[in-house]
Amino acid sequence: MTVTMRDVAKRAGVSVITVSRVVNESGYVQAETRARVRAAIQALHYIPNQMASSLRSRQTRSIALMLPTIANSFWTTIARGVEDEAEARGYSVFLCNTDYDDAKEGRYFEALLRNRVDGIAIVPSEASGPRLRTLQQRQMPLVQIHHKLDDVEADVVRSDSYGAAVALTQSLIDAGARHIAYIGGPLSMSPGRNRLDGFRAALTCAAIADEPDRIKIGNADPNMGYRLVTELTHAGTPIDAVMIANSRMAVGAIRALTELGKRIPEEIAIAAYYDIATLDIYSSALDVYSPVITTAIQPAYDMGRLSVRRLFERIGGMAGPSDDLILPTRIVPPAAPVPGAHNVERLRMPHPVPQDVPVVATAH
């Protein structure tokens, strides 16, 4: 029924191991023999059985990418990078979308372990720690993307949150702002912490005191951005600028400001993370105002590619302490608003991939 190596071997008049060598391009095979085997493969429409190969060789030629959601282009752009890099090496990718659901993450881990994937690239959640440690006990090669869990010893690939926050904040200061509010995501994850640190460092640098009243932290979603801006303005704290450390919060925050009748940037200047090319349904306000705010855009595609490159190094047996790759975040200065045009071009994702990706810093 199904065509196996046996059948190919028989037809080519060689042994199965010779067929294996031809298929995998491993070991020595005479050109003439190889041609005969190839002909037999063609004639019989032979397709190697990956299960059998994996069982015997103990490598599946598959990796997994675990993502909190695929409903947002930041994550899917990372996925494309991962996929392209894996595909280039003949690896398949299990794309696991946890939907921010811890139980779902657990079930995925179970499945990946059963499937004996060769390695896992993961955007960990706060609760992933114990699972990642279990994986490491089982010698599973692991790379963390975007978030770094402090108690997990594994390579990390992320963007320069601190530097980007400094640059965004400085752009506001340069524009004359002195009463700068901060809106950002939870401090339980590293990007949240680093962005707040960068904000504070920039203020300190300019000899501006950071007022706790003006720092608002919440979940990274548009509604929270909306709410925090509302809180800020209702409290009556004087504010002439807002630094928003998260794209989704920025969308809600800017909508709130708009509804409050604030002119941007005349009354309130804005600097924000803004790296969703595919904006979500709340996007219009941000899209309309993006020309007049300074934005930070993370190299999502490269984060995906480089994390898998590193993963393959570990799969290949690379030893050494875990590494922390920090990629530069692009800072885009505000442009004059052009009616009808929405500065589309500058927001486009880097589709033609740079062959060599510059790295800002590697820690450790």
Residues contributing to the site for DNA (CB under 7 A)? 2, 4-6, 13-18, 20-21, 23-24, 26-30, 32-34, 48-49, 52-53, 55-57
Other beta carbons within 10 Å of 104: 14
3-state secondary structure of 324: strand
- Binding residues for its own copies, rule CB under 8 A, total 53
Tracing tokens 């898998």 back to the chain, one arrives at: 308
Residues in 93-122 that interact with its own copies by CB under 8 A: 93-95, 97, 99, 104, 107, 110-111, 113-116
Alpha carbon distances (Å) from 176 to 4, 18, 180, 191: 73, 74, 10, 27
- Answer for which of 317, 340, 352, 358 binds its own copies (CB under 8 A) is 340
Closest approach of DNA to the CB of residue 111, in Å: 14
Tracing tokens 């589709």 back to the chain, one arrives at: 351
The pattern of x and - marking residues 36 through 65 that bind its own copies according to CB under 8 A reads -----------xxxxxx-xx----x-x---
Alpha helices in the chain (DSSP H): 5-12, 16-24, 31-44, 50-57, 73-88, 102-114, 129-137, 161-174, 190-205, 222-234, 247-259, 284-289, 300-315, 344-347
Question: In the complex with its own copies, which residue's Cβ is closer, 101 or 211?
Answer: 101
8 A C-beta contact, residue 342 and residue 293:
no
* 361 touching its own copies, by CB under 8 A: no
Joined together, the tokens standing for residue 277 give 């090319």
Closest approach of its own copies to the CB of residue 193, in Å: 28
Burial grade of 65 (CB within 10 A; 0-12, 13-18, 19 or more): buried
Q: Measure CA 154 to chain center.
A: 16
Question: In the complex with DNA, which residue's Cβ is closer, 3 or 70?
Answer: 3
Joined together, the tokens standing for residue 67 give 């993502």
**Taking CB within 5 to 8 Å according to partner kind, which of DNA, its own copies, none is near residue 24?**
DNA
Question: In the complex with its own copies, which residue's Cβ is closer, 40 or 203?
Answer: 40
Question: In the complex with its own copies, which residue's Cβ is closer, 110 or 153?
Answer: 110
Closest approach of its own copies to the CB of residue 199, in Å: 27
Joined together, the tokens standing for residue 181 give 């509010």
Closest approach of its own copies to the CB of residue 348, in Å: 7
Strand order in the sheet with 215-217: 215-217, 180-184, 241-244, 269-273, 294-297, 330-332
Stretch that binds its own copies, among 68-76, 186-194, 205-213, 327-335 (CB under 8 A): 68-76
Question: In the complex with DNA, which residue's Cβ is closer, 13 or 316?
Answer: 13
**Taking CB within 5 to 8 Å according to partner kind, which of DNA, its own copies, none is near residue 28?**
DNA
**Taking CB within 5 to 8 Å according to partner kind, which of DNA, its own copies, none is near residue 97?**
its own copies
- Peptide linkage before 265 cis (omega within 30 of 0): yes
Closest approach of DNA to the CB of residue 154, in Å: 25
- Answer for which of 258, 292, 313, 331 binds its own copies (CB under 8 A) is 258
Q: Residue type at 267?
A: E
Question: In the complex with DNA, which residue's Cβ is closer, 16 or 359?
Answer: 16
